[in-house]
Amino acid sequence: MNTSGKSWRTAGAVLLTVALTGVTGACSTSDDAPSAEAGGTYTIWDPYPQFDGASAWVTLLAKCGTDSGVTVERTGYDTSDLTNKALLAAQQGNSPDVLIVDNPVISTLAEAGVLTTTEENKLDTAAMAANLLGAGQSGGKTYGVPIGANTLALYYNKKVLAGAGVDIASVKDWPSLTAALAKVKAAGKKGITFSAIGTEEGSFQFLPWFWGSGAQLTALDSPQAVSALTLWTDWLKRGYAPNSVINNTQTTSWQEFATGDYAFAENGTWQLANAAKAGFDYGIIAVPGISGGTAPAPTGGEFVSIPVQKSAARYATSAKLVSCLTSTDNLLATDTTLSYIAPTADVQAKQVARNAGLKVWVDAVNAAKGRTGDNLGTKYPKISEPMWTAVQAALSGSKSPQEALTAAQTTAAAATK
């Protein structure tokens, strides 16, 4: 969920409003196998409107077109606009040849019959990390290739922790993190800031703690889930986290951390450039699980997919474009441009070789989970909204964590029948 550019990348709220009916078309079959269609113009839609024609990203798209013997016509859309435009285009029978979309959108488009599968177009996904590839899978089929991923970790202010007598190496689980926050408050500084806003951003930031407790999205009211929400609620009650988290986006949360008064901030890879400009020494650790280890954080990032076309002859060239964009050499350049961690071990190793500070992000991405994974698919947004509603209710004090999550589970269960 990259918050850089013109919008933060999320699909949760969008998926709730996208109409899945009326989208027609079926993927090609073995009787309608792709055949070569040389030359011409191929369209690519992506969610990176912040990149203009002179950018490294658009230059790469053009080069992949040239290498594939075609001209690329690229359009960049805001993430939420792109989802709706992709569905409308499918209804009208004029989908782009290549579509790059936020990973939670894949299951929606696949269910609507908008996308072909990687098997149909012989796209090689063998090198892709299984946990990242899972976000693009539905019903046992894979509907795209991940181009990169981002996720969440904990930034920390070295000076604040030193002043409070906290050794970052001691922060390994929830009790040790809470103990560190207590020391920071006692030293007159602020503990931790995060985003708990009542949108998909709030769910995105809560998920590492939710999953880090051992909870599952199919049981929002489990004891493990309650322990995660109780952790956050207790932090507010004790003054370890500010009440502003209830309305914080990931951007405003970062702005709080950038004041230099906070010990910790939960945020993503996309803040690395801002961290370098913060004016104080910082470090990064993975979000800890309840009893230690790295908590599974949700994956952000996009998939490169091939929509259904009227002419199956176009698929062969579309597959060349996808393969070009997700090749080892191009992934390294692209993921550097997009502030992503690569989806393959080889490119991740090259990223760390260039910048050792990315090691913590590689570890976090390798432990991450897709929000639509575990076969949730289009059920995820129907679970996410009750979850963020529960977080809001508990943090505001209108309900206890147990009451809030019991209500959330009732709502989610009814919506996902």
What element of type H or E holds 284? strand 282-285
- Residue where the block lists tokens 């080069």: 63
With a cut of 80, say whether residue 375 has pLDDT above it: yes
Q: Which residue has the tokens 């952790």?
A: 231
Q: Look at residue 317 in the predicted model and tell me its pLDDT.
A: 97
Q: Comparing C-alpha atoms, which of 39, 74, 44, 51 is closest to residue 2?
A: 51
Q: Where are the domains of the chain?
A: 12-149+300-365, 152-297+376-415
- pLDDT-derived band at 374 (thresholds 50, 70, 90) equals confident
- 412 vs 5, residue with greater confidence: 412
- Residues 180-230 have pLDDT tens digits of 999 999 999 999 999 999 999 999 999 999 999 999 999 999 999 999 999
Flag whether the pTM goes above 0.95: no
pLDDT confidence band for 81 (50 / 70 / 90): confident
What pLDDT is stored for residue 301 in this prediction? 92
> Where do runs of H (alpha helix) occur along 25-78?
56-67
User: How high is the mean pLDDT of the chain?
Assistant: 90
pLDDT for res 9: 41
Mean pLDDT of all residues in 100-114: 93
CA–CA gap between residue 292 and residue 378 (Å, rounded) = 31
Per-residue pLDDT tens over the stretch 134-186: 999 988 899 999 999 999 999 999 999 999 999 999 999 999 999 999 999 99
> Would you say residue 12 has pLDDT above 90?
no
pLDDT surpassing 60 at residue 11: no
DSSP tag of 177: H
| 223 contacts 32 by C-beta, under 8 angstroms | no
What is the share, in percent, of the chain residues with pLDDT greater than 70? 91
Average pLDDT over residues 337-346: 92
Give the domain 152-297+376-415 fold. D-Maltodextrin-Binding Protein; domain 2 (3.40.190)
- The third-level CATH classification (topology) of the domain covering 12-149+300-365 is D-Maltodextrin-Binding Protein; domain 2 (3.40.190)
Residue 172 DSSP class: -
* Location of structure tokens 């956050």: 232
C-alpha 88/C-alpha 25 separation (Å) is 12
- Closest by Cα among 380, 386, 376, 306 to 145: 306
